[in-house]
Structure 1
Amino acid sequence: ALTLTDKEYQVMRNASFAILREIGVDTGGSNVQFAINPKNGRMIVIEMNPRVSRSSALASKATGYPIAKVATLLAVGFSLDEIKNDITGTPASFEPVIDYIVTKIPRFTFEKFPGANTTLGTAMKSVGEVMAIGRTFKESIQKALCSLERSLSGFDRVKFEDRNDLVFKIRNANEKRLLYIAQAFREGFSVEELHELCKIDPWFLTQIKEIVDFEEQIDMDILNNKALLRKAKTMGFSDKMIALLVNLKDNLELSQNDIYYARMKQKIIAEFSEVDTCAGEFEALTPYL
């Protein structure tokens, strides 16, 4: 979590151990989920799963650490120092270290449930989720949006009736809230105003605002400006989004293929880094892309 303090992390870690001991979980994978009020540090347990769950699978995929396998071997009598991490060849007692950002976004399909209440709350309404990995939060979240299979190119523009309607859509959680927040920045809202409306941490709002602000730099010149095009790609802008922004500003009809060919001409090629669980500290034997 990018906005957690080390103290908050340690408090949750210790609380998780205390909860597992109180319930009596001696073996197997478990996870405890918390909510923390950043204003006063108040911590609440949302749920505790005394089993390997979807959250465990996400953590394994995000870190490359085989939680289910390690938990199984521990249950039959192995100790952590006897279990080898297949990726690095080091003992499983080494905590995974990551040098990238992982973003998870839920997938909703309210169109399949006519009449359903689309306001999000404590009840689970998602039908799935996507996970994206990037060097920065900006890259990671834009990749995640593109992966939702909702025909998104990133922070796409969304329609609203007037300012009051936009405020309502931001104040009340819904599946397009992130897009409405980005749209609000385009309409001149400040980070402080949006924080008061949605209570999302200002750090995340600032990241989204910087993405929206960078859109103003994208025009026809980006096709011949290697530095600007590279920066757009490192911030997670898809070729399709770059084409849409150029078309919007210069009244053109470029496709994502045009941006792709411009990238190839300037030798701006996508790289695929390996997930090795150790941030390159050890030689990875079987990393995954």
Structure 2
Amino acid sequence: MTERILIIGGSANDFGRETESDAASYQVVNGLVKRGHQIVIADDNPYGFTTEREEIKVIETQLTAPNLVKVIVEEHITAIVASVGGLTAVRLSAEILQILGNDAPKVLGMTLPVMQAAQNTKYLQERLTQLKLPAVQTRLASNVSEAFDAARDFDFPVVVRSVAPVGQTIRLQVEDAEELEGAAETALNRSLTHQVNVDKSIRGYQEIAMVVVRDRMDTTLLIGGVEDMDPVGIHSADSIAITPVQTLPDPMFQTLRDAAFTVARGFNVQGLLEVRFAVNPANEDFVITRVTPYFDRTSAMVVTATGYPLVPVITGLMVGESLTSVRIPSIYADHTALLEPTMDHIVIRFPVFAFGELETAGIKTENRLDTVQKSVGATIGVGRSVEEALEKAIRAAHFNNRNFSPTLMNALTDNEIVEQLIHPRDNRILVLLEALRRGYTVDELAELTKINAFYFYKLQRLNNLEQAVKDNPWEADVLQQAKYYGLSDGLVAKLWDEKYEAVRRYRWDNGILPTYKAFEPSAGEFEESVSQFYSTFESENESERLGDDSALIIGTGAFRLGDGAAASYVMATVADELRSQGLKTILMNNNPTDLTFIPQLGDKQYYEPLEISDVMNVIEIEQPTRVFVPGNRIKLITQLRKMGSMCK
């Protein structure tokens, strides 16, 4: 049956809401149009890339329930897609169902209970209790007095959250009664229903997210698990996130996997669901903290990390196809949709902050990280090891951030080190490395920070490797090891007190060259022709030159203040135009939520840092005839021209 489907857009970009909704919407439109459905999209995002498409009807309107009800009536809408518009689309869809009642269009893939649970932790707790699953203890409050009553029951610290928030969810950690009044008033004002949830604090627990899918036949799959290196108490967008999960014992991992499936069944989800857990490291007790029935930054990270065609799959599941029959792109093996992805590499998402830019503008900032999001974007690093992925993620995220200067770390006193270990800031990863250099033990640091000891052993290896490189200049074996674990040519040059070009030439002369590996959902078990790659320093190369006449398009990297969605939109438009002219396109970026990684825009994609050494490595293997670089990368443009590349 042909449906007339309304896709509710993600609205304007904001902190915690980049272009992942727009990128997913573009792919959903592809799948629905191919199935013969008619598409109407409503959005008020001035940089919407999907709304440029000609085969759909676009309605530019403020995203409110009354406006969307009017669209539904005038356009004879029979179904709604809310899973690619973020929490805004979920909230509006729930309001539409309540306004129109039996006359409302069906919401594909979602039930009203899961929409309500995504917005209201008290309602989520009640539903989880029915499913015999543990939830965060919470109380609903409609005023400041009721918030105080709840806090007295739980004892401090507590977390205050808005119910049905305007924009993204706000979570405020409150340490004592003195802070509670202001936090409650702030959260009440951000709530459309003027209500808040007061939660018992679980600060210090380990955060794990499970991304699952379910079809109408009750077949469930785990697409990926993501582990936050930072404990509960730091907003998940500000945390360093790793996939696959590194530190959970397998029995515990399987327990969480089964719990995520139980939640998907209990809410009768037909498509995508992310379930977020908090695990007590002392006894492995856990609670479920959140359900997310829409495509968000975690889903985008899992798609990148696994290579699994998540958006094409959930598009089919939403319209009633099963996992055995869903249509996916022909580059994948026939049974890929039914396959739980296997990874033979590590992906780390690293947050980007704007404290430096704000301070330069004379704005006072608080660099401490807590339950309120402070990051403005994120990058990823991909490698064969945690060390390699972390090194690549750090330099991709903070290539020009003075807070990440080793000189600044050397100047910290011991008291300042302790203070920043207890109260982490944006540059905490360098503080951790510095603490290890000063002789803090792994056990001491794990106790102070509540970060798993596993990661301190990894950081210690990086410290040892940097020291070995510094102590052994022009040693090929040491350089090979350094490159394998992700150290850039630029960092090696600094450690050797040499020029970048000299290090690069020495590496080439000694045959220390990058190889590229594909993101394959089966980790190479089945024959697939995927086109996404990352670099490492091993023997086998899986990427071959695309062709004699190709264009390399460099993305903008992590979103930053002033150049986020607009810059992403421009570079995606460049890629789209080049493809329309028949030119083969190669896209290079390190932001998993960016528009440039829409599969239809590129013949090949590279997930790499955007430093000169990484860009030159891709240029050397692809030999493109044109290189397009965004205008905010002035230093990179200058370096590429110096190296003789054809930059546009």
SS of 1:131 mapped into structure 2: strand
**Match for residue 106 of structure 1?**
351
Paired AA for residue 374 in structure 2: K
Matched residue, 1:250? none
Matched, 1:56 2:295: no
CA contact (8 A) 1:103 1:144 kept: yes
Equivalent in 322, 325, 332 of residue 79 of structure 1: 322
1:81-160 maps to which residues of 2 (within 5 A)?
Answer: 81-83=324-326, 85-86=328-329, 87-91=331-335, 92-113=337-358, 114-151=363-400, 157=406, 158-160=409-411
For residues 284 and 152 of structure 1, the distance between their equivalents in structure 2, rounded to whole angstroms, comes to 39
Give the TM-score, by structure 1 length: 0.90
Q: Whole-Å Cα distance in 2 between the matches of residues 145 and 256 of structure 1?
A: 19
**What are the Cα deviations for residues 56-103 of structure 1, in whole angstroms up to 9, with x where unaligned?**
111111111121211110111211111355343232111111100111
Query: Percent of aligned positions with the same letter in both sequences?
Result: 30
Question: Which residues of 2 match residues 31-46 of structure 1 at below 5 A?
Answer: 31-46=274-289
The Cα RMSD (Å) is 1.9
The counterpart of 2:445, out of the listed 194, 200, 204, is 194
8 Å contact from structure 1 (residues 35, 43) kept in 2: yes
Match of 1:211, SS? helix
Query: Which runs of no fewer than 5 residues in structure 1 stay unpaired?
Result: 248-253
Amino acid at match of 1:186: R
Aligned pair partner of 1:244 in 480, 494, 509: 494
Aligned match for 1:15, one of 249, 253, 259: 259
SS in 1 for 2:272: coil
Choose the corresponding residue for 2:507, options 246, 259, 263. Answer: 263
Contact residue 33 and residue 46 of structure 1 kept, 8 A: yes
Q: Greater relative contact order: 1 or 2 (C-alpha under 8 angstroms, separation 6 or more)?
A: 1
Structure number with higher strand proportion: 2
Cα distance in structure 2, aligned partners of 1:234 and 1:46: 37
Mapped to 2, the partners of 1:33 and 1:101 lie a distance apart of: 20
Q: 1:85 to 1:4 in 2, by over 3 A?
A: farther
Q: Which has the larger radius of gyration?
A: 2
Q: CA deviation at 1:112?
A: 4.1
In 1, distance between residues paired with 2:382 and 2:282? Answer: 29
Q: State the shift of 1:227 in Å.
A: 1.5
Once residues 137 and 176 of structure 1 are traced to their aligned partners in structure 2, the CA distance between those partners, rounded to angstroms, is 18
Distance in 1 between the 2:507 and 2:431 partners? 30
Q: CA deviation at 1:29?
A: 1.6
Query: Does the alignment pair 1:178 with 2:429?
Result: yes
Amino acid at match of 2:508: M
TM-score, reference length from structure 2 = 0.42
What is the CA–CA distance in structure 2 between the aligned matches of 1:257 and 1:44, rounded to whole Å?
Answer: 52
Partner of 1:251: none
Shift of 1:152: 6.8
Q: Which amino acid aligns with 2:274?
A: N
CA distance in 2, matches of 1:182, 1:108: 19
Give me the whole-angstrom Cα distance separating, in 1, the residues matched to 2:401 and 2:463. Answer: 15
Say if 1:156 and 1:134 are closer, same or farther in 2 by CA, change over 3 A.
farther
- Determine whether 1:232 maps to 2:482: yes
Native 8 Å contact 1:276 1:287 kept in 2: no
Aligned counterpart in structure 2 of residue 29 of structure 1, from 272, 289, 294: 272
Contact residue 145 and residue 152 of structure 1 kept, 8 A: no
Unmatched 5+ residue regions in structure 2?
1-244, 534-648
* Larger displacement relative to structure 2 (135-144 or 108-117): 108-117
Matched residue type, 1:33: R
Q: CA deviation digits over 1:161-204, x for unaligned, max 9?
A: 31111111112121110001111112222212211221211110
- C-alpha contact (below 8 Å) 1:84/1:90 kept by paired residues: no
CA contact (8 A) 1:16 1:32 kept: yes
